[in-house]
Amino acid sequence: MKVIEPHIHMIARTTQDYERMVRMHTVACCEPAFWAGYDRTSPEAFYDYFVHISEFEPTRAAQYLIQHYCWVCINPKEADDLVLSREVISFIPEFLAKPTVLGLGEIGLNLNTRNEMTIFAEQVELALQHGQLIWIHTPHLKDKLRGTRMMVEYLVGHGGVDPEKVAFDHCEEHTLRMIRDAGFWAAMTIYPTTKNSPARVVDALEIYGLDHLMVDASGDWGPSDPGTIHDAIFEMRKRGHPEEDVETVFYNNPCYFLGQSGKFRPRPLREREEAWAGK
Amino acid sequence: MGKNVAGRGSPLAAEELLEIYFLEMRSALLETAAAFDRLERAAGGERVMEDPRVKKLLAGCELITAAGADRAERFLLLFSDGGQTVASAAEE
Ligand SMILES: [Zn+2]
């Protein structure tokens, strides 16, 4: 079974992780732009970062036959600085034209401040102007509920946003329903101490069904592991789910969402209505 | 099939799930019990048991003993800052 990793920060990982991923049948991975673990000191640092994830990572991944895609944006952790953010936003269109850039992401909120919300809204507009997909980072821990609600309310109230083209990431039990009720895609990140676990991810699939849901491992510079998406695959099989359903969650669903960008090459193996109905 | 909102529920019956998860659940609760002991035994233990974070954890323990198949969601809500709207949150 082929696997797609919808959210991973390969810039922070060793080549050995690509090697492990290909052994576990990962055929494509997507890298949203995020915080580096420290604040960048200039817009140029973001420019170089975007070059890295849009040019260098695809070549590193290709050695392992993995297609590497990315998203660009000013991330929520550095978006409180309006001047810096706007300088970064000014050169984002140049990167949106590149062959492996899927859209704006991971935009969103961190501490749910007014400035973060302003920059979130400006990047949503940029995505709309350029007909791009949007990948959203929801805040951590105690801030997640409120931040998610702020963004859902904003996007629904906006009126011009097609929810099919927006994915919220790092969703958990208390945020899934509001995201799904509004018609957006939801991704669950396996990052055991602060986000989700394989067992809870499978719980959500049983409660909500397979539609509009994705799972990711979120390997980054913190304690994390690209192997955890494969732990979730094992968990879903162990819990007695049919193989076609496992394939829908870990391969077809990312294809349905990401394939809306003409640049994403993997193709789903079934029509989505049929896959989601479990026939 | 277990109760569910829109999904197809668990292919396994509750008894089978208990076989899979019993030891994991036992272990997670035991680790939590031992961690509370660790705090209480250490210098300042009595005081730390009054820390709002510890109180929240204890409230979480109580919550999981209550009936209703939405414990995980209620647990996360307990650990969340209130759900205000965009306008009111932007005032902070
Ligand atoms: Zn991320």
- Tell me the per-residue pLDDT of A38-73, one tens digit each, with 9 for 90 and over: 999 999 999 999 999 999 999 999 999 999 999 999
**Residue in A177, A230, A209 with CA at minimum distance from that of residue A276:** A209
Instruction: Determine, for residues A114 and B90 on separate chains, whether the beta-carbon distance falls below 8 Å.
Output: yes
**Residue in A158, A156, A152, A147 with CA at minimum distance from that of residue A116:** A147
Instruction: Determine, for residues B86 and A153 on separate chains, whether the beta-carbon distance falls below 8 Å.
Output: yes
- Tell me the per-residue pLDDT of A129-169, one tens digit each, with 9 for 90 and over: 999 999 999 999 999 999 999 999 999 999 999 999 999 99
Instruction: Give the angle subtended at the CA of A187 by the CAs of A211 and A248, to the nearest 5°.
Output: 40
> A7 C-alpha to center of ligand 1: Å?
6
Average of per-residue pLDDT across A263-270: 98
**Residue in A253, A256, A279 with CA at minimum distance from that of residue A3:** A253
What's the pLDDT score for residue A151? 98
- Are A256 and A268 in contact, with CB atoms under 8 Å apart? yes
For chain B, domain boundaries: 12-47, 51-92
Residue A271 pLDDT more than 50? Answer: yes
Average of per-residue pLDDT across A109-124: 98
Chain B residues touching residue A146 (CB < 8 angstroms): 80-84, 89
Chain A residues touching residue B5 (CB < 8 angstroms): 207-208
Residue B84 pLDDT more than 50? Answer: no
Q: What homologous superfamily does CATH list for A3-277?
A: Metal-dependent hydrolases (3.20.20.140)
What's the pLDDT score for residue A279? 65
Confidence label for A8 from pLDDT (cuts 50, 70 and 90): very high
Confidence label for B2 from pLDDT (cuts 50, 70 and 90): very low
What's the pLDDT score for residue A192? 73
* A142 → closest Cβ in B12, B24, B80: B80
Residue B92 pLDDT more than 80? Answer: no
Instruction: Determine, for residues B76 and A199 on separate chains, whether the beta-carbon distance falls below 8 Å.
Output: no
What single letter denotes the amino acid at residue B1? M
Chain B residues touching residue A172 (CB < 8 angstroms): 76
- The pTM (predicted TM-score) of the whole model is 0.94
For chain B positions 19-48, those within 8 Å of chain A (CB to CB) are 20-21, 24
Q: What is the distance, to the nearest Å, from the Cα of residue A169 to the centroid of all Cα atoms in its chain?
A: 6
- Tell me the per-residue pLDDT of B24-59, one tens digit each, with 9 for 90 and over: 999 999 999 999 999 999 999 999 999 999 999 999
Average of per-residue pLDDT across A3-22: 97
Mean pLDDT in chain A?
A: 97
* B11 → closest Cβ in A112, A141, A241: A241
What's the pLDDT score for residue A127? 98
Spell out which chain A residues touch chain B, with contact meaning CB-CB distance below 8 angstroms.
Answer: 112-114, 117, 141-146, 149-150, 153-154, 172-174, 199-200, 203, 205-210, 238-242, 278
Backbone phi, then psi, for A64, in 5-degree steps? -110, 20
Residue B85 pLDDT more than 80? Answer: no
What's the pLDDT score for residue A278? 78
Mean pLDDT in chain B?
A: 86
For chain A, domain boundaries: 3-277
What's the pLDDT score for residue A72? 98
- Are A149 and A138 in contact, with CB atoms under 8 Å apart? no
What is the H or E stretch that residue A4 is in? strand A3-5
- Predicted-complex ipTM score: 0.92
Instruction: Determine, for residues B76 and A238 on separate chains, whether the beta-carbon distance falls below 8 Å.
Output: no
